[in-house]
Amino acid sequence: MKHPWNFLSLLLWVTQLGLSLLFPLCFFLILAVRLQQRYELGTWIVLLLGLVGFLTSVSTARSCIRSLRKAAEKASDQKDPPASFNDHK
């Protein structure tokens, strides 16, 4: 392995993607259950906020994947600097 930081960077991206997928869905579902219990609402609130949480997770995942793709393209575009006059063989 050339650079150990690349592995850590990839691990951080995977962790960020996982949290981006999981947190909004869990947050909205917990909120829906609390609202349902506190105000005696029907199951429609769980379905509605579950859908909102799912759509938020999808949106966040798309933006996270877009950022990861942009970072990968930037890393692959880096080329070795051209040889200077004295470095020619």
Q: List the domain boundaries for the chain.
A: 14-75
pLDDT in tens, 1-34: 456 667 787 788 888 888 989 999 999 999 999 9
Q: Which of 51, 9, 58, 12 is nearest to 32 (CA)?
A: 51
pLDDT of residue 86: 67
pLDDT in tens, 27-53: 999 999 999 999 999 999 999 999 999
pLDDT in tens, 41-87: 999 999 999 999 999 999 998 998 898 888 778 777 766 666 666 66
CA–CA separation, 75 and 56 (whole Å): 29
pTM of the model: 0.74
